[in-house]
Amino acid sequence: MNSPEQMTVKPDLDKIIAALANDNEAPMEELFNYYYPRLFNFSRKFLKIEEGIDDIIQEVFVKIWQNRKKINSEATFNSYIFTITRNLLLNELRSRLNNKKTRDEIRSLSLAQEYSSLDEIEYNDVKGKVDQLINTLPERQKEIFVLSRTEGLSHKEIAEKLGISTKTVEYHITQSSRFLKEKLKNLGFISFLWVYLFL
Amino acid sequence: MKNLFKKYYHSLLSPGEFSEVTDFIGNKKNDSAVFNQMKSLWNEQMSESNAEPVTNSALFTRIKESIWLEKQKAAQRKITVYTWGLRIAAVLVVALVISNIFFLSKPEQNNLAAQLQTITTPMGAKSKIVLPDSSIVWLNSGSTLSYPQQFGKNRPVTLVGEAYFEVAKNETPFLVSTQYGDVKVKGTSFNVKAYTDDNAFETTLEEGVVAFKVKNTENEVTLQPGEQIEKTATGFIVKQVETKYYTSWKDGKLLFNKEPFPDFIKKLERWYNVKIEYSDPELDKLWYTGTIEMETISEVMEMISKAAPVKYCFNNKTRVFTIKAK
């Protein structure tokens, strides 16, 4: 077993490809140790649900083994491992989106935290208010929040862009998000009352 | 769309955007755009220098197992190609002399591959298979057996997991390949246990004679009825056993005779397809004698907690039993 430090070193693909083509499966372990964490994170960001990811990764590695004779260069390997992972994940996501239960699960895992307690109808009632509320945030907090919620940047990307620490970004986002969530809850409640009174 | 995908990946969507991005992904017409958005995420994740989680050795074991099965299939395919090769060669010589034209097309790989049957029983289930030579195989939970649809000069089968064989008497050798070595017989009844997850191997002979050859060596041992060969930390040993304790599973019964607690738990996990956890090393000192036939897993757990100074709980969400000392 490799130590964690070694796993971060990119494996020598030329050597591994040649060994695989020769029916030698020994380098599969090095490939696995390097690619497993990266494939896992990629799959989790795409599928949202962790269950089932290992089965997909197993299929990726078995397919690499089955097609070892056709993989003759680093470039073919790179495009092969991407294509096979991509197709398996996309098929899986599409079929899960067609199932109400898994679709709802994916939905709740891909919403920003301030919306987590709203359903779609409640959201439609309050969405006009969101921009107004964001405008009341302090300048820096607002800048960070917009980069996250409008451009979809990760906390790390925002930190790099603004030259501040990831911790600071997280702090501001949690603050803004908590503020919005609180306000939206009240609004949702009020509009609900309003509908109720005038029915 | 690019921002929406980024928001989806980083879980930053609003409820309205969720429908927008998933409707887009769901439409096959958008394939190439979806591929591009996936490629951006791929490039980002692949260049990550320190990715977590670090590894998953259980998954790698499963992958190794599948690759090993693939290799066995390829080897069996080669044997079939070779015997066909001889027959075709004779025809070919005649054809070549007459017409001097080379017309042999590529051998039909798929067709030959289809001649190999692979049967897998899930955890918690068992199956009974009749092979082409009318030998009978009981395949235990979580096991895989593969064999050619037609046997030729020999009868090769590949096993991952546990199976009981009643081999039809026949002059051609019957060969069970496992990750730990090969078991060769002519006609007899025996049990082979070769799961890969616990690195344990056993062959128990009820009738007849079998020979076991350790993988990658020339070492061969012959077993007599009532004998068992077992893999230990230092090598393989042969001992006398009461075979019924090792073969009763095929009749839907689990018999235990002073079974050490860890082995007992492992058998229950496979038999009932559940996960049973305990961390107290004191429990390893317990052993169990008895028979399990029609009992449900709850009844068995109840029985354990009555017979031994332990209590158990079941987590409905993770489907895991946890055993603790009282």
- pLDDT tens digits, residue range B233-292? 777 888 888 888 888 888 878 888 788 888 888 888 888 888 888 888 888 888 888 788
Across B213-220, average pLDDT: 80
Question: Which span out of B28-32, B50-54, B86-90, B201-205 was modeled with the highest average pLDDT?
Answer: B28-32
Chain B residues close to A55, C-beta within 8 Å: none
Residue A106 domain-assigned (yes or no)? no
For an interface test with A, give the residue of B1, B7, B12 to mutate (most A CBs within 10 A): B12
Domain termination site, one of A77, A100, A123: A100
Cβ–Cβ gap B9/A46 under 8 Å = yes
Cα B168 from Cα B170, distance rounded (Å)? 6
- By C-alpha distance, the chain A residue nearest B23 is A97
Q: List, in order, residues 6 or more apart from A127 with CB less than 8 Å away.
A: B14, B16
Pairing of β B174-177 and β B181-185:
antiparallel
Per-residue pLDDT band at A4 (split at 50, 70, 90): very low
What domain range includes position B259?
Answer: 253-325
Whether residues B6 and B111 share a domain: the answer is no
Residue B51 domain-assigned (yes or no)? no
Q: What is the pLDDT of residue B289?
A: 80
Question: pLDDT digits over B22-55, tens only?
Answer: 999 999 899 999 999 999 999 988 888 777 767 7
**A138-142, A185-189, B191-195: which range is least confident on average?**
A185-189
Across A127-135, average pLDDT: 81
Any chain B CB within 8 A of the CB of A156?
A: no
Whether residues B76 and B106 share a domain: the answer is yes
* Per-residue tokens: A16: 């591994």
Residue B54 domain-assigned (yes or no)? no
Whether residues A27 and A71 share a domain: the answer is yes
Whether residues B188 and B303 share a domain: the answer is no
* Per-residue tokens: B284: 């390893």
Residue A58 domain-assigned (yes or no)? yes
Whether residues A73 and A116 share a domain: the answer is no
What domain range includes position A80?
Answer: 4-100
- By C-alpha distance, the chain B residue nearest A25 is B67
Residue B22 domain-assigned (yes or no)? yes
Whether residues A116 and A187 share a domain: the answer is yes
Radius of gyration of chain B (CA): 26
Q: What is the pLDDT of residue B87?
A: 55
Question: Cα B208 vs. chain centroid, distance in angstroms?
Answer: 26
Per-residue pLDDT band at B65 (split at 50, 70, 90): confident
Per-residue pLDDT band at B83 (split at 50, 70, 90): low
Across B3-29, average pLDDT: 89
- Please tell me the distance in Å from B48's CA to the nearest CA on chain A: 7
Q: What is the pLDDT of residue B113?
A: 36
Any chain B CB within 8 A of the CB of A120?
A: yes
- CATH number of the domain to which B302 belongs: 3.55.50.30
Question: pLDDT digits over A15-52, tens only?
Answer: 898 898 888 888 898 899 989 999 999 999 999 998 88
- CATH number of the domain to which A79 belongs: 1.10.1740
User: Structural domain tally of chain B?
Assistant: 3
Cβ–Cβ gap B63/A32 under 8 Å = yes
Any chain B CB within 8 A of the CB of A190?
A: no
Residue B52 domain-assigned (yes or no)? no
Query: Residue A152: which of B10, B25, B35 has the nearest Cβ?
Result: B10
Chain A residues close to B8, C-beta within 8 Å: 110, 152
Whether residues B222 and B164 share a domain: the answer is yes
Cβ–Cβ gap B6/A57 under 8 Å = no
Whether residues B40 and B92 share a domain: the answer is no
Q: What is the pLDDT of residue B53?
A: 67
Q: What is the pLDDT of residue A37?
A: 92
- CATH number of the domain to which A115 belongs: 1.20.140.160
Question: pLDDT digits over A93-123, tens only?
Answer: 999 999 888 998 999 899 888 777 666 677 7
Cα A112 from Cα A174, distance rounded (Å)? 11
Whether residues A90 and A123 share a domain: the answer is no
- CATH number of the domain to which B218 belongs: 2.60.120.1440
Whether residues B12 and B137 share a domain: the answer is no
Residue B26 domain-assigned (yes or no)? yes
For an interface test with A, give the residue of B6, B32, B36, B38 to mutate (most A CBs within 10 A): B38
Q: What is the pLDDT of residue A5?
A: 44
Whether residues B215 and B316 share a domain: the answer is no
Whether residues A81 and A115 share a domain: the answer is no
Chain A residues close to B36, C-beta within 8 Å: none
User: Structural domain tally of chain A?
Assistant: 2
Residue A45 domain-assigned (yes or no)? yes
Distances (CA, A) of B156 to A125, A146, B133, B171: 69, 65, 11, 14
Whether residues B281 and B171 share a domain: the answer is no
DSSP string, B175-241: EEE-SSEEEEESS-EEEEEEETTTTEEEEEEEES-EEEEETTS--EEEEPTTEEEEE-SSSEEEEE-
Whether residues A129 and A155 share a domain: the answer is yes
Cβ–Cβ gap A46/B41 under 8 Å = yes
Residue A105 domain-assigned (yes or no)? no
Whole-number average pLDDT of chain A = 84
Domain termination site, one of B245, B272, B291: B245
Any chain B CB within 8 A of the CB of A36?
A: yes
